[in-house]
Amino acid sequence: MTTLIESEEHKALRDAVAALGKRHGRNHNREQLWSDAGKLGYLGVNLPEAYGGGGGGITELSIVLEELGAAGCPLLMLVVSPAICGTVIARFGTDAQKQEWLPVLADGTRTMAFGITEPDAGSNSHRITTTARRDGADWLLTGRKVFVSGVDIADATLVVGRTEDARTGNLKPCLFIVPRDAPGFQRSRIDMELNAAEKQFELVLDDVRLPPQALVGDEDAGLLQLFAGLNPERIMTAAFAIGMGRYALARAIEYARERTVWKAPIGAHQAIAHPLAQAHIDLELARLMMQKAAYLYDAGDDVGAGEAANMAKYAAAEANVKAVDQAVHTLGGNGLTREFGLASLVTAARVARIAPVSREMILNYVSHQTLGLPKSY
């Protein structure tokens, strides 16, 4: 039975992470925060205890990300390293892969990026062409990826490719761990209009030679592995968006309580107060759906979690875009100054609307899967 009221343990985790976030704040040093969060066990709360993790789930990891975001210091790589890569390896990796990666992903001493998006595939991941072919016992991986976050700071990237099924000749997805400095693995930074420590990269894989143990788990489990990583990614993107929305809203509320240009502070005008109240309600509602998605995922209901994770990501992204927009507006001219630090969130807030799956693709999913409407594509 799920509970809508957070447990004492979860509240304590929330408070402890919020305190860490407050110490680091908006002008944080990413590496220092990552290291401190790792030492406190927050980066691997979702990973199995047997491999140095906290033994919790995405519920706990989403609390960590939301609270850091609410303090102005979100760690984007939490979406990727422990949530996608850690989950996939914990659920499908070989014993050797678990031993090599899970303890270091959990304490944050190593990080893993995740690359699925391709220039010619985009939202249509069925169209990806990065291909792995066998060369003796090794694999040779060739293709291109785009917008992959944090490749420079990650020790390896979990790359989604395809191999040819020996029986049917069809291409099927498979996941490879590609070390950052593997020969033939080139990255070039994309000039994004985003004020974030984590950068995005275009990747070229030119016959990257990988040993058999670079293939995660088993060649036939690729699709399952991919789906195992995608729900945590959506739930964590929701946490990222809710955290950012809370941060922006808190700055606007502080400002609206103080700033006085007539008789009362501007927050007394309903034209300022009501949109802030609406933004708060929308963020709270999005969090409720995120908690449902995390609960279902942690309970092992991948199908139920799929619908909820999509809806949570959608709701959180929309709530965040509105919260940031209203926060900037509340500050008047100061909303656009560097000093108040909200203007850069206007662009940052759009990320969760586009990635990892766009607003329209979620509406498509709900139209087809939930409502049973026909497809146009």
Ligand X SMILES: Cc1cc2nc3c(=O)[nH]c(=O)nc-3n(C[C@H](O)[C@H](O)[C@H](O)COP(=O)(O)OP(=O)(O)OC[C@H]3O[C@@H](n4cnc5c(N)ncnc54)[C@H](O)[C@@H]3O)c2cc1C
Residue placing its CB nearer to ligand X in the complex, 10 or 180: 180
Nearest Cα to Cα of residue 322 among 287, 298, 353: 353
Nearest Cα to Cα of residue 161 among 184, 187, 140, 185: 140
* Residue in this structure with the two tokens 């209203």, named with its chain if needed: 326
Among 180, 354, 365, 366, binds ligand X (CB under 6 A): 354
Among 59, 111, 130, 149, binds ligand X (CB under 6 A): 149
Among 57, 93, 222, 356, binds ligand X (CB under 6 A): 356
DSSP letters, 263-279, are: SSBGGGSHHHHHHHHHH
Other Cβ atoms within 10 Å of 216 Cβ, number: 25
Burial class (CB in 10 A: 0-12, 13-18, 19+), 172: middle
Of 57-65, 136-144, 319-327, 351-359: span binding ligand X (CB under 6 A) = 351-359
Q: Which of residues 118-147 bind ligand X (CB under 6 A)?
A: 122-123, 147
The span from the CA of 349 to the CA of 321, in Å, is: 5
The span from the CA of 73 to the CA of 195, in Å, is: 12
Tell me which residue has its CB nearest to ligand X: 122
By CB under 6 A, residue 377 contacts ligand X: yes
At closest approach, how far in Å is the CB of 314 from ligand X? 12
Torsion (CA) 88, 93, 97, 99 in degrees, nearest 10: 90
By CB under 6 A, residue 156 contacts ligand X: no
Measured in whole angstroms, how far is the alpha carbon of residue 90 from the centre of its chain?
18
Are 176 and 210 within 8 A, CB to CB? Answer: yes
Of 19-27, 63-71, 263-271, 360-368: span binding ligand X (CB under 6 A) = 360-368
By CB under 6 A, residue 361 contacts ligand X: yes
Q: Which of residues 59-88 bind ligand X (CB under 6 A)?
A: 80
Of 10-18, 223-231, 236-244, 348-356: span binding ligand X (CB under 6 A) = 348-356
By CB under 6 A, residue 347 contacts ligand X: no
- Burial pattern 55-90, b for ≥16 Cβ within 10 A else e, equals ebbbbbbbbbbbbbbbbbbbbbbbbbbbbbbbbbbb
User: What is the token pair recorded at 26?
Assistant: 């908006």
By CB under 6 A, residue 200 contacts ligand X: yes
Number of residues that bind ligand X (CB under 6 A): 21
Among 51, 114, 185, 297, binds ligand X (CB under 6 A): 114
By CB under 6 A, residue 283 contacts ligand X: no
At closest approach, how far in Å is the CB of 375 from ligand X? 9
By CB under 6 A, residue 116 contacts ligand X: yes
Among 41, 108, 115, 173, binds ligand X (CB under 6 A): 115
Contact positions toward ligand X, by CB under 6 A? 80, 114-117, 122-123, 147-149, 200, 351, 354-358, 360-361, 364, 377
